[in-house]
Structure 1
Amino acid sequence: MTRTTSEDAGDSWGLEDASDEALVRRAKLRDEAAFRVIVDRHGPAMYRYAVRLMRGSTHDGAEVTQEALISAWRSLPTFEGRSSLKTWLFRMVHRRAADIQRNRRPVPIDDQLLSHVARPAVDNPLQDVLDSELLEALQEALDELPWLQRSCWLLKEVEGLSYAEIGEALSIPVGSVRGHLHRGRRVLAERMSRWR
């Protein structure tokens, strides 16, 4: 990316209120200020999705998000707008996460390292234990879902995308999105039944 000059900075006024389409038009012309607004607007959701796809790893989630944003910057000139910018960016995250998962070898965890992790002081120990157990159980259940079921569930339930947007983001038909969501929800309901 090239640096924005002080002359260019005058052009960035009001970009925060610009539509995604207007930002894309400017970013296609290599306007870094417009791309920064895109990152600020969609980056947090991309990161949340990446972390959850990467089984809660904030390090891996950050790596996936960064690679997806770099890829988006490079690919913007070819973005045709057939899908929304948001779904296109989620597709970038999905692809980068899939690439990392496919190329990664499992790393054994040393149990002694985990024993040194101290829990922070809490005001309501019982509730905190229950909350952490619930979240841990949900994360474990999500981790056991097949890749597309987990992706569909996260995009629908966490990011609030429509079936059509999920289909666009994952490059699958809407009927497949519905099927993956149905099967994923059924498995999660069975796994989380003790928490009802």
Structure 2
Amino acid sequence: MSGGYGGRAHSGAASDEALVRAARVGDEEAFAVLVQRHGPGMHRYALRLVGGSDADAAEVTQDALVSAWQGLATFAGTSSLKTWLFRIVHRRAADLHRSRKAVPIDDQLLSHLVPGAEDNALRQVLDEELLAALQQCLDELPWNQRAVWLLRELEEMSYEEIATTLALPVGSVRGQLYRARRTVSERMARWR
């Protein structure tokens, strides 16, 4: 390991830009800090995008991190590091998606969208049915609509961040999200 980053504290002391500069000259410790900082979000997005398979999400995230390490010299800084990393995750997940049939999103990933059933057995059954219906609906969305919906609704990214992440114009992001929300709304109407 290179000693450029040295003994600095790992907990957010340095900006992404400073860490990228250090990592570009081979400082693996600086890159490790970036992985600690952004890796969990990248994995969470990959997990949702590939349908809840932890093995697939780990593969996508690992491939994305390897690509990021190898491609740091190409990171121009015109977007945030986070959106650049999420774009790489999206590309790796799209590659995996093309090579395999769609896999459903795990109910646990969507469970925070539904209030807890507490001790009411009927409510718990209805919540499970709701999550299953939402999962099926998301699985059937076209790839870009699903990605835009996940980034907006679950990752809470702005339209601009989504556009940068997916390399789409902001207008396309808005259109994809509108169509995704309309489809989800129509298919989930019985749950209102």
Q: What TM-score, normalized by structure 2, do the two folds share?
A: 0.83
1:188 has 2:176 as partner: no
Q: Distance in 1 between matches of 2:92 and 2:78?
A: 20
Task: Check whether the contact 1:47–1:62 (CA below 8 A) recurs between aligned residues.
Answer: yes
Deviating beyond 6 angstroms after TM superposition, the runs of 4 or more aligned structure 1 residues are none
Aligned residue for 1:113?
Answer: none
Closer/same/farther in 2, CA of residues 58 and 136 from structure 1, 3 Å limit: farther
Task: Check whether the contact 1:91–1:169 (CA below 8 A) recurs between aligned residues.
Answer: yes
Q: Which runs of 5+ in 1 are unaligned?
A: 108-121
The count of corresponding residues between Structure 1 and Structure 2 is 178
The secondary structure found in structure 1 opposite 2:79 is coil
Q: Distance in 2 between matches of 1:173 and 1:61?
A: 26
Aligned residue for 2:168?
Answer: 172
Amino-acid identity (%) = 61
1:130 has 2:126 as partner: yes
Q: Distance in 2 between matches of 1:10 and 1:138?
A: 47
Q: For each residue in 1:124-153, what CA deviation from the matched residue of structure 2 results, as whole angstroms up to 9, or x when unmatched?
A: 544433333222221211111100011111
Aligned residue for 2:85?
Answer: 89
The correspondence of residues 14-163 of structure 1 with structure 2, limited to 5 A, is: 14=10, 16-104=12-100, 125-163=121-159
RMSD, aligned CA:
2.2
Q: Distance in 1 between matches of 2:101 and 2:139?
A: 16
Q: Distance in 2 between matches of 1:11 and 1:37?
A: 12
Q: Which runs of 5+ in 2 are unaligned?
A: 104-117
Q: Distance in 2 between matches of 1:194 and 1:58?
A: 31
Task: Check whether the contact 2:83–2:162 (CA below 8 A) recurs between aligned residues.
Answer: yes
* Rg (Cα) greater in structure: 1
